[in-house]
Structures are given as structure tokens and as C-alpha cells.
């Protein structure tokens, strides 16, 4: 899917936006739904290409999956296939989360290596080591992963790094293994908590989600349920950065204040006014943006790697030099050449980006390298003088629902071809 975004920038954007359900919650929760032999209705699912691909995976293994008005209904009672077609696995990195779920549903699984954004090396060795610790046979051969759960057993699984995906796969595998399993150095992201809440509502016995130690008492069966996805904290951060870059003010509907602490603390340090009222948030950009001395991406509750790209455009307008250190993915700075083409002064040194401000951006023809980088280039275009064209091979649509319509409702001059 090739798209072209045409943006006439340098407008102050103001208004209200409802934040979609969390992309990084809905994908593992859709995978978890197959562990029931009943119907699950999952509400507030954003209409994203990644969600559609995930539904195709569900159908490929024999489930029925339907999307209507933000609700995905999954019936896994007729699931029969343990193999996911390679062309679907390659569409998104999060497809690897089906490894644990399909293995425990079918007793075995066969799938190719996953795809997704080209953010650098993202090996799945943590996933395989975790499954092996649970007694699941797992091997890689000729680009495929094969598992066998005939000897699965409860275990203590220690993750060398608090990987979100590896934590999810371990949970999905352990939840139906008899006995108590323990995950230490587990990821603590809100999306992990959302997955565990979903499974517990289905009848699982999981405690400790949101901490580094998760206890799982395996159960024999899980039931179908209705469930609502948490708000997308990265989408919320993106709209906050739109307000900062354009000097505007935006009200956010459907947000969780506690999920945004690292982001809002940084924005306040930069001079923004940020307030919350229940599940509504408000941001107003300062007259002059203060530079960020150093933003370091870290696992939750640290500053999220998915948010650092969308912070770059407004830091270009900062009153002096800002520094971003990327500690998760080594290829998060692929947008820097295009931002410099638009008039930024950014130098990268290893995992650090030095952003010298203040600079005024000008419109240019640029290319989205990945999901968050594409969103960042859109933000840069919204703040730039003149017209910009962003070419995109479908990256942005993977993570943002109704982005063009929402930005236009804030007063932007933007169209998509």
C-alpha cells in the first residue's frame, strides 16, 4: 500500500481528539483469544492494517474473525491449523506473539520469522529460551520456527532483558500449563497488564503484572469474554507532540494519566502546560520550547522508544541543544537525514542524536522509513513553512487510526493520495 501525504504547514493546531485503543495491546490480546474455545468480543480495537493482518492470521489457523464498529469478534472453537502462512508472518513483527498461543492451543506450531519495521536487530532468542524453559521443544530451521508442547511443564523463567514480546509469549504459554510458573525480569508495560487482565477475565490466575515478577497458576481451560482495550499511550504522545510542534493546544479524550508519566514529565520540563481530568488530557504548547538536556529511552516506566521519534520535530524548535539517547533499537534515527533536508540541524553519534535549535523547518519531499518515523515526518511537515510531501509504503497506517481526519479536524491542511 503506497500513500502520499501532502501537507501545508505552519499552522497552529487546536481542538479535541479521541485516542484510539492501544495497538500494542490489541495484537497480543487477539492472539490470546485463541486459547478459549468460545467467542471473545474485544472492544475499542483501532482499525489499523496491523489489526487486519492479525485477523487474517486468526482466520488462517481456523478461527472466525469479524470487525465491526471498533469491535473484533473472534470464535476459536473451530481452530485447527498450527501453521501460519509466511506472507502473514512477514507483515508485522508482533506476529511472533502467536508462537506461545498457537503452541498451547494446538500442541505445536510452525511459523516463519516475523517481519515489521526495520528498526535493527530484534532477535527472538529470548522467546525461544523462555519456551524451552517451560519444557517446550523449539527449533529454528530454514527460516521457520517449530515448537512442540508435548513435554510442557511449569517453570521459573528469567528473562535476560525485560522484552515485551518475550514476556507476552511466556505468559501465553504458561497460562495453560499445570502448576505455578514464575517470570522474573518481566516487562512492566501497561500493555502487559492489559494482556494479563484479559486472560484473568477469561479465567486465568495471573498475579504481579506491571511488576518485574509475574506468577502464573496454570488452568485447564479459558472462557470467552467481552473486553475493552486500554488507550494507546503512543498515539496520545503523538498528538501531544503535534501541539508542541505547531504551538497549539489539544484536548485528548480517552487517556490513562499513569501510562503517560515519563512523556508528560518531559513535556512539562520543556515548558508545556499538561493537565488531566479523569480520562481526559490537555496540552498547551509554550511560547518558547525549552531544549531537552537528555532523553534516554528505557523499558517502562522509562521514556518509551516508540515516542522518541515523534519528539524530534518540536525539539528542533527548542531554545538550545537537545540530546536523545536510544537504548532499545539502533535504527530509530533513520528520519534524521529527511529532517535535516527540511532545515533541522541534527547530528547522530552512535545511539545519540544531538538536535541543535532553534531552527525553522521548510517543506520538502521526504520518505517515511517506519511507523513512528513516518508520524514524526508528518509532525515536522505540520510545523514547516510551505508544502511537504511524505511518501509512505503503508507504515503510518499500521499504528494510527483516522490520523489524517483527526489532524484535519485540528485545523491542518493535509490530504492523502
DSSP state string for 91-113: T-GGGGGHHHHHHHHHSEEEEEP
Structural fold of domain 3-20+231-416: UDP-n-acetylglucosamine1-carboxyvinyl-transferase; Chain (3.65.10)
How crowded is the C-beta side of 211, counted as CA atoms within 13 Å? 9
- Quote the DSSP letter at residue 260: G
Does 45 participate in catalysis according to the annotation? no
Looking at CATH, the fold of the domain delimited by 23-228 is given as UDP-n-acetylglucosamine1-carboxyvinyl-transferase; Chain (3.65.10)
Task: Characterize the bridge pairing of strands 137-141 and 352-356.
Answer: unpaired
Active-site residue identified among 117, 196, 241, 416: 117
Quick check: bond before 301 cis, omega within 30? yes
The CB-side HSE value for 223 (13 A sphere, CA atoms) comes to 7
The pLDDT score that the predictor gives to residue 117 is 42
Q: Tell me which residue of 89, 97, 108 sits closest to 146, measured CA to CA.
A: 108
Q: Is the dihedral of CA 149, 153, 157, 163 positive or negative?
A: positive
Residues 6+ apart with CB under 8 A from 357: 289, 291, 315, 316, 317, 318, 319, 320, 321, 322, 345
Question: Of 189, 181, 178, nearest to 206 (Cα)?
Answer: 181
347 membership: H or E segment, kind and range: strand 346-349
Longest dimension (CA), the chain: 63
CA 358, CA 119: separation in Å to the nearest integer?
28
Contact 206, 216 (CB under 8 A): yes
Cell numbers that stand for 162 in this block: 525485560
| SS percent in the chain: helix, strand, coil, step 5 | 35, 25, 40
What are the extents of the domains in the chain?
Answer: 3-20+231-416, 23-228
Nearest Cα to 122, choosing from 67, 177, 163, 167? 163
Nearest to 271 by CA among 287, 282, 259: 287
DSSP conformation class of 87: H
Averaged pLDDT, groups of 10, the chain, 417 residues long? 94 98 97 96 96 95 96 94 88 85 96 60 80 95 91 97 96 98 98 98 98 98 97 98 98 98 98 98 98 97 97 98 92 93 97 97 97 97 98 94 97 96
Amino acid at each position: 500500500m503506497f500513500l502520499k501525504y501532502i501537507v501545508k504547514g505552519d499552522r497552529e493546531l487546536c481542538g479535541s481528539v479521541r485516542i484510539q485503543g492501544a495497538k500494542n495491546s490489541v495484537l497480543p490480546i487477539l492472539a490470546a483469544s485463541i486459547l478459549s474455545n468460545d467467542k471473545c468480543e474485544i472492544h475499542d480495537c483501532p482499525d489499523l492494517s496491523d489489526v487486519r493482518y492479525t485477523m487474517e492470521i486468526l482466520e488462517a489457523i481456523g478461527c472466525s474473525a469479524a470487525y465491526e464498529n471498533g469491535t473484533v469478534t473472534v470464535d476459536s472453537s473451530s481452530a485447527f491449523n498450527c501453521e501460519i502462512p509466511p506472507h502473514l508472518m512477514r507483515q508485522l513483527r508482533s506476529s511472533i506473539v502467536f508462537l506461545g498461543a498457537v503452541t498451547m492451543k494446538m500442541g505445536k506450531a510452525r511459523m516463519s520469522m516475523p517481519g515489521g519495521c526495520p528498526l535493527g536487530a530484534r532477535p527472538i532468542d529470548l522467546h525461544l529460551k523462555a519456551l524451552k524453559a517451560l519444557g517446550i521443544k523449539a527449533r529454528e530451521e530454514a527460516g521457520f520456527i517449530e515448537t512442540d508442547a508435548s513435554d510442557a511443564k511449569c517453570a521459573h523463567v528469567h528473562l535476560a532483558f525485560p522484552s515485551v514480546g518475550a514476556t507476552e509469549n511466556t505468559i501465553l504459554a504458561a497460562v495453560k500449563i499445570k502448576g505455578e510458573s514464575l517470570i522474573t525480569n518481566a516487562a512492566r508495560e501497561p500493555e502487559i497488564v492489559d494482556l494479563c487482565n484479559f486472560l484473568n477475565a477469561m479465567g486465568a490466575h495471573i498475579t504481579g503484572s506491571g511488576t518485574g515478577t509475574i506468577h502464573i497458576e496454570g488452568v485447564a481451560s479459558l472462557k470467552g469474554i467481552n473486553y475493552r482495550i486500554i488507550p494507546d499511550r503512543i498515539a496520545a504522545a503523538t498528538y501531544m507532540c503535534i501541539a508542541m510542534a505547531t504551538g497549539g493546544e489539544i484536548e485528548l479524550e480517552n487517556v490513562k494519566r499513569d501510562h503517560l508519566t515519563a512523556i508528560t514529565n518531559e513535556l512539562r520540563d520543556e515548558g508545556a502546560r499538561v493537565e488531566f481530568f479523569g480520562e481526559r488530557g490537555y496540552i498547551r504548547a509554550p511560547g518558547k520550547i525549552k531544549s531537552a538536556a537528555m532523553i534516554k529511552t528505557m523499558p517502562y516506566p522509562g521514556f518509551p522508544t516508540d515516542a522518541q521519534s515523534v519528539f524530534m520535530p518540536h525539539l528542533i524548535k527548542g531554545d538550545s541543544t537537545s540530546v536523545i539517547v536510544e537504548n532499545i533499537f539502533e535504527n530509530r534515527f533513520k528520519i534524521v537525514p529527511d529532517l535535516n533536508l527540511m532545515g533541522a540541524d541534527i547530528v547522530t553519534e552512535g545511539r545519540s542524536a544531538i538536535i541543535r535549535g532553534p531552527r525553522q523547518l521548510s517543506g520538502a519531499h521526504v520518505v517515511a522509513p517506519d511507523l513512528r518515523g513516518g508520524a514524526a515526518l508528518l509532525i515536522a511537515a505540520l510545523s514547516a513553512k510551505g508544502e511537504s510531501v511524505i511518501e509512505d509504503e503503508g507504515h503510518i497506517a499500521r499504528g494510527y487510526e483516522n490520523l489524517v481526519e483527526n489532524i484535519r479536524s485540528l485545523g491542518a491542511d493535509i490530504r492523502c493520495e
